[in-house]
Amino acid sequence: MKVAITGASGNVGTALLRRLAGTGTEVVGICRRLPDGPGPEGVYEGVQWESLDIAGPGAVPRLTEVLRGVDAVVHAAWLIQPARDPQELTRVNVGGSRNVVSAALAAGVPHLVHLSSIGAYSTHPVGDGRVEESWPTGGIRPSQYSREKVAVEEHLDAVLADHPELTVTRVRPALVFQRDAGSEISRYFLGALVPTRLLRRVPLPVVPLPTGVRFQVVHADDLADALARILERAPGGAFNIADEPVLGNRDLALALNAGRYVELDRRVVRAAAALTYRAHVHPVEPGWVDLGFGVPVMRTDRAREELGWRPAHAARDVLVELLDGIRDHAGTPSGAMRRRTGLVTSRTGT
C-alpha cells in the first residue's frame, strides 16, 4: 500500500509514521517544513518527503502529481495558530483542505481519510449523554476551529454527492496528546510567562478550575492505530476515537499535583480568558473556551466493533504524559514539533 499524509511531521502525522513503520507501507509525507533529522527511533526516515503549502499558489496541480498512484490520503494538516490572523487559518484549514480533496479526485485516489475533530459536533443538550457518529456536526459557533472543521465536513458532503467513487472516512478524535507534543501544545495554548519547567514538580496547594469540566483525550499512538486500521479496511463514514475514562476536574487537579481544586463560574473563566487574550498574555482565542464547554462526550463503539480497535492507554496516563512533555520541553526535529527553547511565539502549525 502507498499512503500520502498531509501534515506528516505534526502530532498525528508523526504518530502515524511510527505506526506504519515496518508494515511495508510506502509513505509520502507532505508538509511545509521538512524535518531536520530522523527523529526519535528514526520516525522520519524512509519517508518520501514533499515540501508543499497545501493552500499556496499552484498547490492543486502539484498535489495532484504527488498523489498519483497512492492508495489513500490521510489529511491531517491543520493550523491551530496564529489565532490573531484568522484569515491565514481559513486559508490553510478550509482552502487547503479543499485543495487536497480536489487533488485527490484529479489523481484518482480511491480513499480519503479526513482528520476531523470532536469539535465538529454540536452541543449535546443533556450534558452527561454520549453521542454517536450520527450526532449533528453543527459545531460550536464562537470557535473558529470548530466552524472550520464543520465547513470541511460540509464540503466533503457535497463532494460525496458528486463523486460516489471516492471513499471518504472521517475520523473525529478527542484531544490528541503524546509526550513529544509537549512543546507544540505549549506553543499553541500557553503563554510565554507560564513557568512550564515547574509543572508537576512543585505541589500546588489549590488550583482554580471551571465548574463541571468533562473532557476526553486520546493518545496519538491510539489514534494512529485507528488510522492504520482504517487504511487497511477503507470503511467510509465517520469514527469517534477517544481513550477512557472521561476526565474531569479531579483528574486535572491530580495531574497538576494539586492538593485540591476550587471551581469557578464558567462565565468568569470565559471573561478572564477574553481579557488576557486581548492583553496578549496567552495565544488562546476565547472561542476555545466555548469549545471546551460545548463539545459533547463521544461513544467509540463503532471503532471498537468495526475496526477491532482497542486503546492501549488510559486517559489519565495520557494527560500526565503530556504535562510531563510540556515540563520537559519535549519535541522532535520537525517544524511543528520542535522543542521549546525560548519565548513562546504564536505562529506555528503543520
The pLDDT of residue 342 is above 70: no
The pLDDT of residue 273 is above 60: yes
CA pseudo-torsion sign 17, 22, 25, 26 = positive
pLDDT score at 127: 57
Burial class (CB in 10 A: 0-12, 13-18, 19+), 167: middle
- The string of pLDDT tens digits covering residues 212-221 is 899 999 999 9
Is 273 within the bounds of a domain? no
Is 197 within the bounds of a domain? no
* CATH code of the domain in which 170 resides: 3.40.50.720
pLDDT score at 200: 85
Q: Which domain holds residue 307?
A: 2-177+218-242+296-312
pLDDT score at 349: 44
Residues 6+ apart with CB under 8 A from 255: 200, 316, 319, 320, 323
Contact indicator for 312, 219 with CB cutoff of 8 Å: yes
Is 11 within the bounds of a domain? yes
pTM: 0.94
At residue 179 the predicted structure's pLDDT band, cuts being 50, 70 and 90, is very high
pLDDT score at 340: 81
- The stretch 179-206 carries a mean pLDDT of 88
The pLDDT of residue 317 is above 60: yes
At residue 128 the predicted structure's pLDDT band, cuts being 50, 70 and 90, is low
Residue type for 255, please?
A
The pLDDT of residue 70 is above 70: yes
At residue 348 the predicted structure's pLDDT band, cuts being 50, 70 and 90, is very low
- The string of pLDDT tens digits covering residues 325-334 is 999 999 999 9
pLDDT score at 230: 98
Residue 97: closest CA among 17, 26, 158: 158
Contact indicator for 161, 313 with CB cutoff of 8 Å: no
Is 269 within the bounds of a domain? no
At residue 344 the predicted structure's pLDDT band, cuts being 50, 70 and 90, is very low
Is 71 within the bounds of a domain? yes
pLDDT score at 39: 92
Q: Over pLDDT 90: what percentage of the chain?
A: 90
Stronger pLDDT, 239 or 203, i.e. the higher one:
239
At residue 102 the predicted structure's pLDDT band, cuts being 50, 70 and 90, is very high
The pLDDT of residue 350 is above 50: no
Is 189 within the bounds of a domain? no
The per-residue pLDDT of the chain, averaged, comes to 94
- The stretch 21-25 carries a mean pLDDT of 95
pLDDT score at 24: 95
pLDDT score at 341: 74
Number of domains composing the chain: 1
Is 256 within the bounds of a domain? no
Is 235 within the bounds of a domain? yes
At residue 105 the predicted structure's pLDDT band, cuts being 50, 70 and 90, is very high
Q: Where are the beta strands (DSSP E) in the chain?
A: 2-6, 26-31, 48-51, 72-75, 111-115, 130-131, 167-173, 175-177, 207-210, 214-215, 217-219, 237-241, 247-248, 261-264, 297-298
- The string of pLDDT tens digits covering residues 136-157 is 999 999 999 999 999 999 999 9
